[in-house]
A and B are shown apart, each in its own frame.
Chain A
Amino acid sequence: MAMKWLSKWRLLSLFTMLAFVLSGCGLPHLSTLQPAGEVAQTQYDLMVLSTAIMVGVIVVVTVIFLIVLFRFRRKDDKIPKQVEGSHKLEIIWTVIPILLLLVLAVPTVKATFDLADVEAMDQKNEEGKTDALVVNVRANLYWWEFEYPNEEIVTSQELVVPTDEKVYFNLKASDVKHSFWIPAVGGKMDTNTDNVNKFWLEFDSAAADEAGELFYGKCAELCGPSHALMDFKVKTLPRDEFDQWVADMQDVKEPAVAQTPKAQQGQEIFNNSCIGCHAVTPANTTPEAARMAPNLTNFGERDYVAGLITMENNEENIKEWLRDPEKYKPANKMTGTYGELSEDELDALAEYLLGLKVQE
């Protein structure tokens, strides 16, 4: 009986501890402290190593500091001995830090080179394509475009990737500088206006499972008023499901025809007012300059409107967004590009947009 109680108590305290540690580590789909892939893991290990060394330094300094604080308080008016210094001590606190830094420098250099290894992007097969999965990321004022050059499809706002393999990225910006960051999966890299940056990430299936197959991505470089809201999402799929998704996307050659009368009305409005910027076919044949707004081919399958976690993808929120995008993303490029929409038109558009799905 006693043993059982004890084991229960231990289990409970273990859970409490675990809960505490986990809350200290942030959310599994968002925190760098819950690494969900090889890159984040490498970085996490470096964090732990550097923190350990630094805590060691802090402990030594703190001990000396506390002794100074308590032992050498002024007690009388005597003048203490005037010491010039100590060569021995100077050497000690020069050499030991150098050694500690060497311990840190070696894995740093190694990891820096490992994370920059994108050779697979240059290895083309006979079709002129890479065997590795490549995604071209194009950052725009407050939205993200993801182009799959090998698969010849484009999507936006929600990046779809297979788990447990290296995914390679080409990164660039089309207006001002942004920075592409999926905290739980790996460190960021800037999307410059001058050049294309390359790096890779790997999405771990077990961690993705824990994160609900949806990671949060963010823009990490100040880019204007709505920099804070330039979020995107990353949907992870096992390789076979990913292949299925690609095939389904590729199947959309023509804009899907709306099914219900209401949606058909919506499609008509869309074709008059929206299609100039928003494509509803995934082919990457249109030049980039003409892809002026997020591609909406599979909009109905995305989790959020405008990438905002406060805007779950439903009829009400779509209407909210269309009524006044400025309220949700200040200084976005969509505000003012279309006339006032009536309630009826909003209903129709929402129904049409929600119906934009490529998978069963």
Chain B
Amino acid sequence: MSTYAQKRGFGATLWDYLTTVDHKKIAILYFIAGGFFFVLGGIEAMIIRIQLAIPNNDFVSAGFYNEILTMHGTTMIFLAAMPLLFGFMNAIMPLQIGARDVAFPFVNALGFWLFFFGGTFLNLSWFLGGAPDAGWTSYASLSLASEGHGIDFYVLGLQISGFGTLMGGINFLVTIINMRAPGMTYMRMPLFTWTTFVASSLILFAFPPLTVSIFMLMFDRLFGSNFFVTAAGGNTIIWEHFFWIFGHPEVYILILPAFGIFSEIIPVFARKRLFGYSSMVFATVLIGFLGFMVWAHHMFTVGLGPIANAIFAVATMAIAVPTGIKIFNWLFTAWGGSVSFTTPMHYALAFIPSFLMGGVTGVMLAVAAADYQYHDTYFVVAHFHYVIVGGVVFAVLGGLQFYWPKMFGTMLNETLGKITFWLFFAGFHLTFFIQHFLGLWGMPRRIYTFLPGQGYELSNLVSTIGALLMAVATVVLVINIIITVKKNERIGNDPWGDGRTLEWAIPSPAPFYNFKQLPLVRGLDPYWIEKMEGKKGMTPAEPLGDIHMPNSSIIPFIMSFGLFVSAFGVMYRLDYAWGLPVLIIGLVITFGSMLARSLKDDHGFHIHKEDLIDDDNEKGVKA
């Protein structure tokens, strides 16, 4: 399909992407938008590090710094890490289970556009009177006291993008439950599919509390309710509970798919099946389950009392066990293997010690009594960056290099990839390792400056230099992508040579219908099984027949746009006379497009058998 796209004009390509319901194109949209927000969040991170490079710096003002730190966290979590992982889930998961698309292609497109408009709305705050400034956690007393519309942008933007995330999660769940190819039992699913499945169930249970709490915050700020207003009998601690009941599973929503990506990369480049597959699956499910039992460890200093603190401390420690199981299983996958040091494998191997560092400091933080010292200091900043950068970002960068050929049919340059890796790896440890000590030496987090004479000068400077290296690494990555797109050297089905799972059995990029005939899955690593028996591709599970495909539609875009419009109305309702009409117009657009969607019968179309036979023989199942 992408070859078709290149022959068309820009306008036609744009229209194609605005209306697409193809999971592979939606994945590309997620990568473009997520990549953009990743760079934006990175620039915000650089501003933070420049401001903290020297004591008493005045690179940015105190108020602006708070906006930057809030938007750095919010952007990186909601608008960069999650969408990028959703990109991988969309691009790879349906191929891994032998499906022709996700269960609800229309909803899939709607999910993306909701995220896109939510994220855009949130970032427009920069130009419309200031960004949110109460931290990504937006604790209620501060977020209610915050002046201007910053926090309103936060609640409305996240609400819109949150709907999208929830839809995406449900869609993936239904897809994995219903659309696996013949023979693809649950215990034959690749680990990335498993982690997508568990992360999606976490989304299903974790996002509603977030939606509810930001809904209440919105009502407190814009409609005069008193959920969190202490003076009127409200309670701010409830916000913290709500937020972390969402917020802690959110960490696992991010890290589990990252685990999944590494569980795909390591077996391929060690040429060995995943060690302890069933305990890996079990550990994933257990982490997902325990992830809901530990939220109050973010609140040890709130004053919940020793009983709650002790219970949550022990529950948190328990998570270390399944995570440890995973670490050892990855190591023993490579043990006895034939390890090839490609760029994706660099990330996968570097992930193990880096993430381990984040894991052990996590256990230290679980020690409630000691956490009173760590809490809200740079020790915590170091800890969660070790987990999220050392885990999620490494997975995104490694996964990008690994799956690029499957998504675009070309290979990213390995040398440039390794340069990116080494710069990023060195920069990452340089930035964050020293921050553990800054925290222990008494430096609180979220401070816009530090005064001289407290012993923080040198370490902060080191940290800033490290951040600079990561920025350079990202620039090299962008150059790599541009060069690769320009060169456009096409590659075959299985460019890494040792692909094990179904996605490597079909052409790169996959044809828009994915599988000409659904494949028959005979075990874990189905493509590897066929290859080891000397076959060139998968055995089909069905005769060649017509394929039913969904039609493209602009409705998801319009539906999301309506909410985007009405968000402005909600926010400016009290400031300007046009607020209320805009609110109504936006909702009319959204509900009108819903009505149009419901009334119009859209049965999709069929690709006829004859056209499939005519189609290039290299495509489809007979790879």
Which chain A residues have a beta carbon within 8 Å of chain B's beta carbons?
Answer: 23-27, 30-33, 40, 42-43, 46-47, 50-51, 53-54, 57-58, 61-62, 64-65, 67-69, 72-76, 78-86, 89-90, 93-94, 97-98, 101, 104-105, 108-109, 111-116, 171, 173, 175-177, 179, 181, 183-184, 186-190, 192-195, 197-198, 216, 218-229, 231, 308-310, 330-331
Which A residues are in CB contact (< 8 Å) with B370?
Answer: 43, 46-47, 50, 108, 111, 187
Given known pairs A112-B368, A216-B454, the reply for A105 and B134 (CB within 8 Å) is no
Q: How far is the CA of A51 from the CA of B278 in the complex (A)?
A: 31
Contact in complex: B142, A223 (CB < 8 Å): yes
Which chain B residues have a beta carbon within 8 Å of chain A's beta carbons?
Answer: 56, 61-63, 65-66, 134-135, 139, 141-142, 145, 230, 235-237, 270-273, 275-279, 301-303, 305-306, 309-310, 313-314, 317-318, 320-321, 324-325, 327-329, 331-332, 334-341, 349, 352-353, 356-357, 360-361, 363-364, 366-373, 375-377, 437, 440-442, 444-455, 532
Contact in complex: B134, A197 (CB < 8 Å): no
Which A residues are in CB contact (< 8 Å) with B139?
Answer: 177, 221-222
Contact in complex: A58, B360 (CB < 8 Å): yes
Given known pairs A27-B455, A189-B303, A194-B236, the reply for A85 and B448 (CB within 8 Å) is no
Which B residues are in CB contact (< 8 Å) with A68?
Answer: 331, 334-335, 339, 349
Which A residues are in CB contact (< 8 Å) with B447?
Answer: 227-228
Q: How far is the CA of A306 from the CA of B366 in the complex (A)?
A: 35
Contact in complex: B369, A42 (CB < 8 Å): yes
Which B residues are in CB contact (< 8 Å) with A69?
Answer: 339, 349
Contact in complex: B338, A75 (CB < 8 Å): yes
Given known pairs A50-B364, A54-B360, the reply for A43 and B372 (CB within 8 Å) is yes
Q: Which residue of A lies closest to B317 (CB)?
A: A101
Given known pairs A85-B277, A220-B377, A228-B447, the reply for A32 and B440 (CB within 8 Å) is yes
Contact in complex: A32, B302 (CB < 8 Å): no
Q: Which residue of A lies closest to B63 (CB)?
A: A225
Q: Which residue of A lies closest to B67 (CB)?
A: A225
Contact in complex: A222, B135 (CB < 8 Å): yes
Which A residues are in CB contact (< 8 Å) with B445?
Answer: 220, 222
Which B residues are in CB contact (< 8 Å) with A176?
Answer: 141-142, 145
Contact in complex: A80, B364 (CB < 8 Å): no
Contact in complex: A61, B352 (CB < 8 Å): yes
Contact in complex: B145, A94 (CB < 8 Å): no
Contact in complex: A179, B376 (CB < 8 Å): yes
Contact in complex: A58, B356 (CB < 8 Å): yes
Rounded to whole Å, the gap between the CB of A271 and the closest CB of chain B is 31
Rounded to whole Å, the gap between the CB of A331 and the closest CB of chain B is 6
Cβ-neighbour of A222 out of B134, B237, B356 (below 8 A) = B134
Which A residues are in CB contact (< 8 Å) with B276?
Answer: 84-86, 89-90
Q: How far is the CA of A81 from the CA of B279 in the complex (A)?
A: 20
Rounded to whole Å, the gap between the CB of A115 and the closest CB of chain B is 5
Contact in complex: A26, B455 (CB < 8 Å): yes
Contact in complex: A109, B313 (CB < 8 Å): yes
Contact in complex: A228, B301 (CB < 8 Å): no
Which B residues are in CB contact (< 8 Å) with A78?
Answer: 338
Contact in complex: B338, A228 (CB < 8 Å): no
Which A residues are in CB contact (< 8 Å) with B142?
Answer: 176-177, 222-224
Contact in complex: B446, A65 (CB < 8 Å): no
Rounded to whole Å, the gap between the CB of A27 and the closest CB of chain B is 5
Contact in complex: B237, A194 (CB < 8 Å): yes
Contact in complex: A112, B309 (CB < 8 Å): yes
Contact in complex: B360, A109 (CB < 8 Å): no
Q: Which residue of A lies closest to B143 (CB)?
A: A176
Contact in complex: B341, A73 (CB < 8 Å): yes
Q: How far is the CA of A25 from the CA of B438 in the complex (A)?
A: 10
Q: How far is the CA of A171 from the CA of B372 in the complex (A)?
A: 15
Which B residues are in CB contact (< 8 Å) with A104?
Answer: 317, 363, 367
The 6 closest A-B pairs by CB, nearest first: A187-B372, A228-B447, A26-B441, A183-B442, A85-B276, A111-B369
Which A residues are in CB contact (< 8 Å) with B309?
Answer: 112, 116
Contact in complex: B303, A192 (CB < 8 Å): yes
Cβ-neighbour of B272 out of A82, A113, A231 (below 8 A) = A82
Q: How far is the CA of A226 from the CA of B62 in the complex (A)?
A: 7
Which A residues are in CB contact (< 8 Å) with B237?
Answer: 192, 194-195
Q: How far is the CA of A192 from the CA of B301 in the complex (A)?
A: 10
Which B residues are in CB contact (< 8 Å) with A173?
Answer: 141
Contact in complex: B356, A61 (CB < 8 Å): yes
20 A-B contacts (beta carbon < 8 Å)? A26-B437, A30-B455, A58-B357, A68-B331, A72-B339, A74-B340, A83-B273, A84-B276, A85-B279, A85-B329, A90-B279, A112-B306, A112-B368, A179-B376, A187-B301, A194-B235, A220-B444, A222-B139, A225-B62, A228-B444
Q: How far is the CA of A219 from the CA of B449 in the complex (A)?
A: 13
Contact in complex: A221, B376 (CB < 8 Å): yes
Given known pairs A54-B364, A89-B328, A216-B454, the reply for A83 and B441 (CB within 8 Å) is no
Contact in complex: A331, B325 (CB < 8 Å): no
Which A residues are in CB contact (< 8 Å) with B271?
Answer: 74, 79-80
Extra inter-chain contacts (20) besides given A86-B275, A97-B324, CB under 8 Å: A26-B441, A32-B440, A47-B367, A65-B349, A67-B335, A74-B340, A84-B273, A105-B317, A116-B309, A176-B142, A177-B141, A184-B442, A187-B371, A187-B375, A189-B372, A192-B237, A194-B235, A222-B142, A228-B444, A228-B449
Q: Which residue of A lies closest to B323 (CB)?
A: A97
Which B residues are in CB contact (< 8 Å) with A46?
Answer: 367, 369-370
Given known pairs A31-B441, A31-B442, A43-B370, the reply for A195 and B337 (CB within 8 Å) is no
Q: How far is the CA of A225 from the CA of B135 in the complex (A)?
A: 12
Which B residues are in CB contact (< 8 Å) with A222?
Answer: 66, 134-135, 139, 142, 445-446
Q: How far is the CA of A93 from the CA of B329 in the complex (A)?
A: 9
Which A residues are in CB contact (< 8 Å) with B372?
Answer: 43, 115, 186-189
Rounded to whole Å, the gap between the CB of B312 and the closest CB of chain A is 10
Contact in complex: A115, B451 (CB < 8 Å): no
Rounded to whole Å, the gap between the CB of B422 and the closest CB of chain A is 15
Residue among A73, A89, A90 with the most chain B CB within 10 A? Answer: A90
Q: How far is the CA of A58 from the CA of B360 in the complex (A)?
A: 8
Q: Which residue of A lies closest to B273 (CB)?
A: A82
Which B residues are in CB contact (< 8 Å) with A194?
Answer: 230, 235-237
Given known pairs A68-B335, A192-B237, the reply for A183 and B373 (CB within 8 Å) is yes
Rounded to whole Å, the gap between the CB of B140 and the closest CB of chain A is 8
Which B residues are in CB contact (< 8 Å) with A184?
Answer: 442
Q: Which residue of A lies closest to B314 (CB)?
A: A105
Given known pairs A189-B372, A219-B444, the reply for A72 and B270 (CB within 8 Å) is yes
Which A residues are in CB contact (< 8 Å) with B334?
Answer: 68, 72
Q: How far is the CA of A33 from the CA of B309 in the complex (A)?
A: 23
Q: How far is the CA of A75 from the CA of B532 in the complex (A)?
A: 20
Cβ-neighbour of A190 out of B303, B327, B357 (below 8 A) = B303
Q: How far is the CA of A280 from the CA of B321 in the complex (A)?
A: 58
Q: How far is the CA of A61 from the CA of B355 in the complex (A)?
A: 12
Cβ-neighbour of B367 out of A50, A97, A181, A190 (below 8 A) = A50
Contact in complex: B310, A108 (CB < 8 Å): yes
Q: How far is the CA of A30 from the CA of B442 in the complex (A)?
A: 6
